[in-house]
Structure 1
Amino acid sequence: MTQLGLPEDIQACLFDLDGVVTKTAVVHAAAWKETFDAFLREREGEGFRPFDSGADYDEYVDGRPRADGVRTFLASRGIELPEGHPDDPPEAQTVNGVGNRKNVLLLERIRTQGVEPYDGTLRYIRAARARGLKTAIVSSSANTRDVLHSTGIEDLFDVRIDGVVAAERGLPGKPRPDTFLAAARDLGVEPSRAAVFEDALAGMDAGRSGHFGYVVGVDRVGQSEALYAHGADIVVKDLAELGGRA
């Protein structure tokens, strides 16, 4: 292992955004809860079963592209909506409409609350780059570029594969490994020489199925066992535990 807690042959680090680099996973979960609870209340009345921003978020939404999250969660409740179109208005009763409603709420929360990065992650990324490792941000969020810009950390990543890039290239999202594989390809590194850093179970699945050299689970919410079960090689609460100083 290197001083970064990685196998010696790792040449690149592929980082998820929400929950790994920035403290936005909780903001996403809150926006999803507000969206789904309003939808379920309107559909089922006051006796509806609310969206669980812990269990439901982790199982059906976290790490997935927005429309996939809508589709997967609603399917768990036996609900199927028409797909609609990506530019559907937030009030549309479609998969895309519900997803766009969530995004409106998310952006409002980010605008009013701001975005804060994890200091341990930033120190780790800087240490990795100082040792010559390439870095990429890999996120299902279509707001990745705005978040990176607002926190002033765009320059920490050589490559960005996010929801916008995935749509442009026709890449399926997590739990499929395609976005991580695209990041490794853009960096000119074999997947077996790249490490994946993820907090979502869908991201663990992507790291495992993509046959990456090392998969680091970041446990911010007490789901260490689940992260291991979904393919993590190691689970830490903060990347500072892996070592590395810029």
Structure 2
Amino acid sequence: MTVDRRRTPTSRDLLAPVLRDVGAVVFDTDGVITDSARVHAAAWKTAFDAFLREHPPEDPSLRGPFDIRDDYLRHVDGRSRLDGAAAFLASRGIEPSPRTVRAVADDKEQLFTERLRRHGVDAYPGTVRLVRALRRAGVPRAAASASRHAGELLARAGVLDLFDVLVDGGEAARLGLPGKPRPDLFLEAVRRLGVPAGRAAVVEDAVAGVEAGRLGGFALVVGVDREAQRDTSERLLRHGADIVVRDLGELCAGGTPN
């Protein structure tokens, strides 16, 4: 008698092998779930460029406008508004007062809110595909963000109900959680999911975010580089990502990572 040793497919087979033993997944929001990173970056550029025109750095080599890709990813992405404003200004040799940092951050906030309500945002199809595959596989899912707008963004994109937990900037402020690269935001998310970090994955597109995932002891840190820029991918890997993908659909069955 011939024994059929083929394994019966399960819902975990909807996932790439690298995710099949993961007990939970925490997703950053801007640039990972929704395309809102472009709206944030545009608002930061307007706010920073206006400030730099009025207060140019003393060192001529540090002058010039805010770079919407490089400066955004290096200094702002993944951080709270105040931390991001302070980090970018420091990179230009400027040591502003807390009042100045808040003024620039508040200017950006107003610009972002206006752009968001005028144009809205979309969720990335590959991310939606992966989150739905995780849900079918019974893997708990959390969205985490330093932004207070995360809930509104996810609701406008029609994906808020795909996540079991949301920890946003408002919750972080209420709980006194430090910002990235500290891992506290992600650790709070997995705490609410009831899964230890050592069995969970973090998905991030920012250097500060992958650093947070590594510092938090997560089993898997996935970096996202949607533009497939070699320097960006290498930076994410250097700072803590285990793998880097261009689109999260790659982490579904039939994708590249294994």
TM over 0.5: yes
> How far apart are the structure 1 equivalents of 2:242 and 2:86?
30
Cα shift readout 1:142-173 (whole Å, capped 9, x = no counterpart)? 11111112122111111111111100000011
| Counterpart residue number, 1:182 | 188
Amino acid of the structure 1 residue aligned with 2:247: D
Matched, 1:30 2:42: yes
Which SS does the other structure have where 2:217 is aligned? Answer: coil
| Aligned counterparts of 2:247 and 2:180: Cα–Cα separation in 1 | 22
Question: 2:14, 2:137 within 8 Å by CA — same for their partners in 1?
Answer: no
1:191 maps to 197
SS in 2 for 1:160: strand
Q: Does 1:124 align with 2:105?
A: no
The alignment of Structure 1 onto Structure 2 pairs a total of residues equal to 235
The corresponding residue for 2:6 is none
Distance 2:140 2:157 in 1: 20
1:157 corresponds, among 150, 156, 163, to 163
Deviation of the 1:233 alpha carbon: 1.1
Following TM superposition, by how much is the alpha carbon of 1:9 offset from its aligned partner in structure 2, in angstroms?
3.0
Q: Which residue of 2 aligns with 1:89?
A: none
Structure 1 match to 2:87: 72
Matched letter for residue 51 of structure 1:
F
Indicate conservation of the 8 Å contact 2:13/2:253, yes or no.
Answer: no
Q: Is the 8 A contact 1:134 1:187 kept in 2?
A: yes
What amino acid does structure 2 have at the position aligned with 1:240?
Answer: G
For 1:76 and 1:39, locate their aligned partners in 2 and report how far apart those are by CA, in whole Å.
14
Task: Describe the shift of the 1:99–1:133 C-alpha distance in structure 2 as closer, same or farther (beyond 3 A).
Answer: same
TM-score under structure 2 normalisation? 0.87
Match of 1:56 among 58, 67, 71: 71
- Classify the secondary structure of the residue corresponding to 2:98: coil
Quote the residue 2:234 is aligned against.
225
User: 8 Å contact 2:145–2:169 — kept in the other structure?
Assistant: yes
Gap runs ≥5 in structure 1: 85-93
* Structure 2 residue matching 1:195: 3-state secondary structure: strand
* Aligned-residue offset at 1:3: 4.3
Q: For 1:10 and 1:209, how far apart are their aligned partners in 2?
A: 18
Specify which of 116, 135, 142 is matched with residue 136 of structure 1. Answer: 142
Aligned: 1:209 with 2:224: no
Q: Match of 2:143, SS?
A: strand
* Bigger Rg, structure 1 or 2: 2
Q: Using the alignment, how far apart are the partners of 2:51 and 2:95 within structure 1?
A: 13
Q: How has the CA–CA distance of structure 1 residues 174 and 181 changed in structure 2, closer, same or farther, with 3 Å as cutoff?
A: same
- The two structures, once aligned, show a CA RMSD in angstroms of 1.7
- Whole-Å separation in 1 of the counterparts to 2:78 and 2:187: 16
In structure 2, the gaps of 5 or more residues are 1-11
Match of 1:4 among 15, 26, 37: 15
The ranges of structure 1 where at least 4 consecutive aligned residues each deviate by more than 6 angstroms after the TM superposition are none
